[in-house]
Amino acid sequence: MGVLASLLLGCTSQAGERTANTPGIASEAQGQPHSAPASVSPSASVPHDADQPPTSPEVGAEAISIASAVVTAFCRPALDRETWINNLYPFLSQTAAVAYGTVDPARVPCRAVTGDARVRDGDGAFTIRVIVPTDSGDYSVYVNRPEVTDPWLVEQVIPLAGD
């Protein structure tokens, strides 16, 4: 591979490392295809311009509202699979829609949201993790958006294990 191609791809010296110039994308130079991850790590960070607007209370409230709505839709194990996933689709990113499309709702242990959701962490503008209490324990909902003008989308809905 030429020097210019190496610079453009931001290649690293060891196979499997992430490139320095493209966070979260494995280098094609090591033979790894570009593909969406099965789930997005809540601790993953995506750099954004420093001139992005600061977080407002409305942003947190919007993320909390979406997280509560998705857990309400998620905690309905008595629904048939098609109805269950169709109720979730409006809240999910494309990656999450594919992942949750394989879930059998009958195996979902929660049946209801039991309290107020709260922001756990995140940068407040692009990624927020919200904790939603249910009748089977707290669920962590990871919501994100690529730009502040984009809608919040859910990447993950997972039960917390004694967190």
Check whether 51 has a pLDDT greater than 50: no
* Per-residue pLDDT band at 2 (split at 50, 70, 90): very low
State pTM to two decimals: 0.65
Three-class secondary structure of residue 124 per DSSP:
coil
On whether residue 27 sits in a domain, the answer given is no
On whether residue 39 sits in a domain, the answer given is no
On whether residue 43 sits in a domain, the answer given is no
* Per-residue pLDDT band at 38 (split at 50, 70, 90): very low
Number of domains in the chain: 1
Mean of pLDDT values over 128-153:
94
On whether residue 28 sits in a domain, the answer given is no
Check whether 158 has a pLDDT greater than 70: yes
The percent of residues above 70 in pLDDT, for the chain, comes to 64
At 108 the pLDDT is 95
Find the CATH number of the domain harbouring 129: 3.10.450.540
At 57 the pLDDT is 64
* Per-residue pLDDT band at 56 (split at 50, 70, 90): low
Cβ-in-10-Å burial (0-12, 13-18, 19+) of 78 comes to: exposed
DSSP conformational letter for 123? -
Residue carrying structure tokens 């993320």: 63
DSSP conformational letter for 39? S
Query: Which segment of 27-36, 62-71, 78-87, 97-106 scores lowest on mean pLDDT?
Result: 27-36
Cβ-in-10-Å burial (0-12, 13-18, 19+) of 110 comes to: buried
b/e for 58-68, b at 16 or more Cβ within 10 A? ebbebbbebbb
Cβ-in-10-Å burial (0-12, 13-18, 19+) of 131 comes to: buried
Tokens of 143: 């919501």
Tokens of 103: 């879930």
On whether residue 25 sits in a domain, the answer given is no
Mean of pLDDT values over 108-126:
90
- Kindly give, in sequence order, each residue whose CB lies less than 8 Å from that of residue 155, ignoring residues fewer than 6 positions away: 39, 40, 93, 95, 96, 142, 143, 144
Residue 67 belongs to domain spanning: 57-159
Mean of pLDDT values over 43-51:
38
